[in-house]
Amino acid sequence: MCDIIGRYGVSYKPPTNHGIREKLLKQVVDKTDIKLEEYKDEWKITGCTIMFDGWTDKKRRSFCNFLVNSPKGTAFLYSLDTSDISETAEKIFKMLDVVVEFVSEENVVQIVTDNAANFKAVGGLLIQKRVHLYWTPCAAHCIDLIFEDFEKQLKVHETTIKKGRRIPTYIYGRPMLITILKKFTNGRELIRPEMTRFVITYFTLVCLYGMKTSLMTMFNSEE
């Protein structure tokens, strides 16, 4: 970007705040809408999968992202703040049913959601109403639940994970230590565990094991 601005010369004038928020933003939105229409045309030909992704932010607010996948690729539809929505099967069913209606039922082959009990119930309700589509549990969520069982039911896993979490928590709570870490690991950073993704916790352990020598050298150093 800087190289292109330099080639333009000293007469270059950057866009105003108003220009970015109004004119340029509208151009990007229009371009995105055109791209989405191309995806919608594909859905009519090949069919598509609606994917539901629920997540929680650092303020413990709940959100749902809705995406549509087809051979052309994955398109983001919209996001909903579900903090005030009860996670009963009936409420979730209505939410997903609206998405199917938005995409058009004749285009939808399947809906992929979490594997929780309320979503299983929702899957049954959807199949009853929309007889031509399938409900499929998310494979990634199933794997995550398996790792959750490992941590909660195997004592050696629980103990190891608690110890493993202390290291990145200690390092990333101290800015100066992060700089020293990069020096001893040649710029690599540790994978930090997340409370909502148990698979990430095991990635953290693999990362700690791979950097074991570098971390021991760092903690034994004068610095």
pLDDT tens-digit map of 48-73: 999 988 877 778 888 889 999 999 99
Choose one of 104, 137, 170: the last residue of a domain: 137
Give the chain's domain count: 2
- Whether residues 180 and 206 share a domain: the answer is yes
Polymer length of the chain: 223
Domain coverage including residue 205: 143-220
- Whether residues 94 and 123 share a domain: the answer is yes
- Whether residues 116 and 160 share a domain: the answer is no
Q: What is the mean pLDDT of residues 101-129?
A: 90
Choose one of 137, 161, 186: the last residue of a domain: 137
Residue 59's pLDDT is: 83
pLDDT(196) > 70: no
DSSP secondary structure code for residue 105 in this structure? G
- Whether residues 133 and 147 share a domain: the answer is no
Choose one of 137, 164, 199: the last residue of a domain: 137
- Residue 69: which CATH number? 3.30.420.40
> pLDDT tens, 21-42?
899 999 999 999 999 999 999 9
Higher pLDDT, 86 or 36: 36
When pLDDT is cut at 50, 70 and 90, the band that residue 120 belongs to is confident
Q: Which two structure tokens, joined as six digits, stand for 22?
A: 């109004």
- Which amino acid belongs to residue 29? V
> pLDDT tens, 168-193?
999 999 999 999 999 999 989 898 87
pLDDT(195) > 70: no
Q: Where are the beta strands (DSSP E) in the chain?
A: 48-56, 62-70, 73-81, 108-113, 134-137
Percent of the chain predicted with pLDDT > 90: 57
pLDDT(221) > 70: yes
- Whether residues 182 and 125 share a domain: the answer is no
